[in-house]
Amino acid sequence: MDTLKLKGLIIAAGMTQKEVAKKIGISTNTLSNKINGVREFTVGEVIQICDILDITSNAEKAEIFLA
């Protein structure tokens, strides 16, 4: 997982982690744990995050979530 890239994309989208967490239906703490590798994202959460942040490239998705 490329933590810095995901955090950067959230900021570039003009959003906070709190806003992203709310949109995908998890707590801010849970999202933080997932971004920092303490817990794993579900496939559904990855899809939702990609939709929210307009990440459409499969290569970019892999770079962020499979790094």
Q: What is the pLDDT of residue 55?
A: 97
Cβ within 8 Å of residue 48, ≥6 positions away: 23, 24
Using the predicted structure, report yes or no on whether residue 29 has a pLDDT greater than 90: yes
Q: What is the pLDDT of residue 63?
A: 95
Mean pLDDT over the full length of the chain: 96
Burial of 1 (0-12, 13-18, 19+ CB in 10 A): middle
pLDDT, tens only, 33-65: 999 999 999 999 999 999 999 999 999 999 999
Using the predicted structure, report yes or no on whether residue 28 has a pLDDT greater than 90: yes
Q: What is the pLDDT of residue 35?
A: 95
